[in-house]
Amino acid sequence: MGIADELEKLEELHRKGTLSDEEFEKAKASVIDTTTKLSQSATTPKEADSSISKPTEIRAKASSLPKVKRFLKNLFILSILIGLAWFFLTRTVGKQSTEKMISSVVHTPITLVDEIENISASSWKAMPLNLSYSGTLNLTVEVVRGNPVDIVVIHSTELENYKNSNQFQHFPDFEASKTTSYKRSARLNEGIYYLIIRDNTLGILSTSSSDIKVIARLEP
């Protein structure tokens, strides 16, 4: 039954007195409102399923695949070149020097010294410390066998003054006297320094030489 038929039926009931004026107006408005809603729902398109990719999105995803492949290819080539460079450097300058070179560039921790030194009584030894970047210098000195020692750290420019027993400048954070177990750390600028280990004993009532374990490590 169409809207015209329904309205006509309502008018007939109104004429016969079955519907009052108020009831007739309400019924007529209800029919018109229902018909309008049905018409709007029929003309409104259904929403597209969001889970289905649009053609443009599919093309965008497909076009990104070659870029990913190129990136992976370049990464693979780069890893091969790095491996070849590592192999070449370790064969030419040695593994330890290669590690120091790489650490200098990326500022990773570097072991500068890790060895046992023998120092005679009434003598001293200057151990070079090449700081390739500004960072924290960690020093550990242990007398494995022998006499207590004095320790200072100086800049390379002060070495001649120390050799000639002239007045020299040193870093107080690293100073120690008559020690057999030593561990210090402090920040220093990039440059060349010297760790001075001195045995001031005469070797008469003490050992004639000392074995000293030295570890020097630079950290960012």
- Asked if residue 189 is part of any domain, the answer here is yes
In this structure, the answer to whether residues 215 and 124 fall within a common structural domain is: yes
- Give dist(CA 196, CA 128) in Å, integer: 9
Q: What is the CATH number for 155?
A: 2.60.120.380
Element (H, E) at 217: strand 209-219
In this structure, the answer to whether residues 153 and 69 fall within a common structural domain is: no
14 contacts 24 by C-beta, under 8 angstroms = yes
pLDDT tens digit string along 45-65? 544 454 444 555 555 555 677
In this structure, the answer to whether residues 25 and 125 fall within a common structural domain is: no
- Give dist(CA 171, CA 139) in Å, integer: 13
Domain that holds residue 65: 53-92
Identify the sign of the CA torsion 23, 25, 31, 37: negative
| Dihedral angle computed from the Cα positions of residues 52, 56, 62 and 63, in that order, rounded to the nearest 10 degrees | -160
pLDDT tens digit string along 151-180? 999 999 999 999 999 999 999 999 999 999
- Asked if residue 103 is part of any domain, the answer here is no
User: Rounded mean pLDDT of 141-153?
Assistant: 96
- Mean of the per-residue pLDDT values of the chain: 82
In this structure, the answer to whether residues 125 and 195 fall within a common structural domain is: yes
For every residue of 17-78, which 3-state class applies, written as one string?
CCCCHHHHHHHHHHHHHHHHHHHHHHHCCCCCCCCCCCHHHHHHHHHHHHHHHHHHHHHHHH
12 contacts 28 by C-beta, under 8 angstroms = no
User: Rounded mean pLDDT of 23-51?
Assistant: 66
Q: Considering its fold, how many domains does the chain have in total? A: 3
CA atoms within 13 A on the CB side of 14: 15
